Amino acid sequence: MKLCLRHLSSLSVKFALTITAVVAGVAFTTGAVIVTLDWQHFHRELESKSLLLAHSVSITAAGDILRNDHWSLFKSLKKMARKGTGERRENGIITAMIIDPQGVVLAHLQPNENPLGMPLALNDKTEERLLDSAKKFRTPGTLNGGFGTNGFLEGIVPILSDEKLLGFVRVRLSYRELILKAQRSAMIILGLTLALVVLGSLLGAAISRRITKPLTAMTQGIEALGRGELSDIKPITVRNDDELGILASAFNKMAKEMAEKKSLEEQIAVSEKLVALGRISAGVAHEVNNPLAGLMNCIDTLKEHPDDPELVERYLPLLDKGLNRIKSIVESLLIELRIEEAHGTDNSSSLDDLRDIVESEINGRRIDFIWENHLGDDVLINKRRVQQIVLNLLKNSVQALHDKGTVTFRTFRDGNFVILEVSDNGPGIPPEFRNHLFDPFFTTKQNGTGLGLWIVYRLVESMRGVIEVESEVGGGTQFQVSLPMMNVST
C-alpha cells in the first residue's frame, strides 16, 4: 500500500509540475515573442534613421567633393549630428564621416582622431572589417558593429556623380537605447512569468489532487501490471460515467487484453523461433547448394577426363574455393551457436584483448585505428558475446575502408547501459541496403558469408540490447550497441 501511495504522490507532483511547466512555457514564449518583435521594430527604426541621416548629408556631398570643399562637408556632418542627436545622447549619433573610395577621410565628426586627407584611423579588426565592407556598397545599406550596450548600427550611403563613385557617408548610431528597452521589456515579462508560475503551481496542485484521489482503487492493479502478475488483477468497479469511470472501464479492458496478449506473445515467440529456424535452414541450403552444384560439375568433368592436366589445373582452385565457402558458412553458424550459449563474465578490460587482433587485420594498411575503452574495471560483461559483437563490427569497418581511412572504437557507461560504438569514415551504406543489413546471408562483399552482422544482431538481441546504425553515403558508418548492465553482467 505504501508503494501505491508513493505512486499517487509521484503522479500528483507530475500533474502539478506539468501544468506549471505549460503555464511557464506559454508565458515565456509569449514574452520572448513580444521582446523579439519589439527589438525588430526598434531595429528597423534605427536602420531607417541611420539611412535617412546619411542621405541628408549625401544630397549636397557630391558637389562639395567635386569642389574640394571639405569645410562644407564637415558642416553638413555637424548639422546632421545636431538634428539626429536630440535631447538624449544614448539614442544619438556616435560618429559620422565622409570617406573617399580608398578610405581617405574627407570629413569626420572627430577631426582630431581622423585628420583630413589621411586614411581613416582603424583601431581594431572590427573597424577594418567595417571599412572593407563599406567600400563594397553601391546602394544604401547598413552594417552591424556588434551588439550590447557598446554596439552600434552604421548606415552607409554611397556618393555618386554621373554614376561615378566619389565616396561614402557613414553614420553610426548607438544600440544603447535598444538594449535598455529590451531589458525593460524582459524584466516585465519575467515578473509576469513568475506570477503565472505561482498561479500555475496552485492550479496544478488543485487539479492533480482532484484527479489522483479517485485513482487509489486502481493502484493495486497497476502494481500487478508492473510485476507482470496479470492473474492478480481484479476488475475495478465502475461507479460513474464521468472521465474517471471511462478510465476505469478502459483499465479493465486493457487488463483483459494484456492477459490475452501475453498468451498470444508466448505462442508468437514459439512461431518466430520456428520461422527463424526455417529461414536459416533455407539460407544454409541455398548458400551450400550453389557451391556444391559447382563442385559436383567439376568432379563429373574430372571423372570423364581423368588424364587431362589442364582440367585438373583449372578445376582444383574452383574445388578449393567452393569447399572453403561451405566451410566458412558452417564455421560461422557453429560460432553463433557456441557464443549465444556463453554465460561467462569478465570485467570490461577483456575487450582490450581484441586490439591486437584488429591491428593484425589492418596488416600495415594506411588505416588509423583509435581505441577508447572508457569502462571501469567494476563493469562486468559477458566476455565471449560482447567480444564477438565488437570483433565482427570492427572487421566490417576495416574491410569497408579497403586501403586507407580511420576506424574508431569507443565504449562507455550511460546510466544502466553499456554503450559500444564502432565507426569509420568509409564509403557508407547505400539506403537500399540498410533494411537488409541484419538479414542472414545478405552481403555486398565478394567473398562474404553474410552472417557477421546477423550474428551481431542475434547476440545483441539475446542480451536484450539495442543496435542502431547511422550511415551516409560517402560520409562513413557508425554502429552503436546499447546493452543493459544487469543483462551484460549475467
What does the mean pLDDT of the chain come to?
Answer: 76
- Cα separation of 327 and 321, whole Å? 10
**Same-domain check for residues 134 and 84:** yes
Question: Considering the domain boundaries, does residue 244 fall inside one?
Answer: yes
Q: Do 96 and 109 fall into the same domain?
A: yes
Q: Which three cell numbers stand for residue 381?
A: 560483461
Q: In this structure, what CATH number is given to the domain that contains residue 22? A: 3.30.450.20
pLDDT digits (tens, 9 = 90+) for 228-242: 555 555 666 656 666
443 in the same domain as 298 = no
Q: What confidence tens digit (pLDDT) does each residue in 397-409 have?
A: 888 887 789 999 9
Q: Which has the higher per-residue pLDDT, 337 or 460? A: 460
Over the stretch 3-30, which tens digit does the pLDDT of each residue have? 444 444 566 667 667 777 777 777 778 7
Same domain as 436, residue 302: no
> Which one is predicted more confidently, 310 or 62?
62
| Residue range(s) defining the domain that contains residue 254 | 223-287
pLDDT at 380 over 80: yes
* 410-451: pLDDT as tens digits: 999 888 899 999 999 988 888 888 877 777 767 766 665 667
In a domain, 133, yes or no: yes
Out of 252, 270, 287, pick the residue that ends a domain.
287
Q: Is the pLDDT of residue 1 over 60?
A: no
Q: What is the mean pLDDT of residues 242-246?
A: 65
In a domain, 212, yes or no: no
Does residue 204 form part of some domain?
no
CATH number at residue 434: 3.30.565.10
- In the DSSP assignment, the letter for residue 119 is B
End-to-end CA distance of the chain: 32
pLDDT tens figures, 299-332: 777 677 777 777 667 767 766 666 666 665 666 5
In the chain, % of residues over pLDDT 70: 70
Q: Which is it for strands 366-373 and 404-414: parallel, antiparallel or unpaired?
A: parallel
Q: Convert the pLDDT of each residue in 167-212 to its tens digit.
A: 999 999 888 877 787 778 778 877 877 887 777 777 767 766 666 6
The alpha carbon of residue 27 and the mean position of all alpha carbons in its chain are separated, in whole angstroms, by 28
Q: State whether 302 and 441 are in the same domain.
A: no
pLDDT tens track for 446-471: 665 667 788 888 888 888 889 999 98
**Looking at the domain assignment, is residue 187 inside a domain?**
no
Domain boundary among 318, 340, 362: 340
Which of 172, 118, 183, 177 is CA-nearest to residue 145?
172
Domain assignment present for residue 205? The answer is: no
Same-domain status, 317 and 424? no
| 232 close to 222: Cβ distance less than 8 angstroms | no
- Within a domain: 195: no
Whether residues 355 and 478 share a domain: the answer is yes
Burial of 148 (0-12, 13-18, 19+ CB in 10 A): exposed
What SS3 state is found at 172? strand
Residues 264 and 335 in one domain: no
What is the domain count for the chain?
A: 4
Task: For residues 296 and 434, state if they share a domain.
Answer: no
> 324 and 228: one domain?
no
Q: Is residue 113 part of a domain?
A: yes
Residues 66 and 127 in one domain: yes
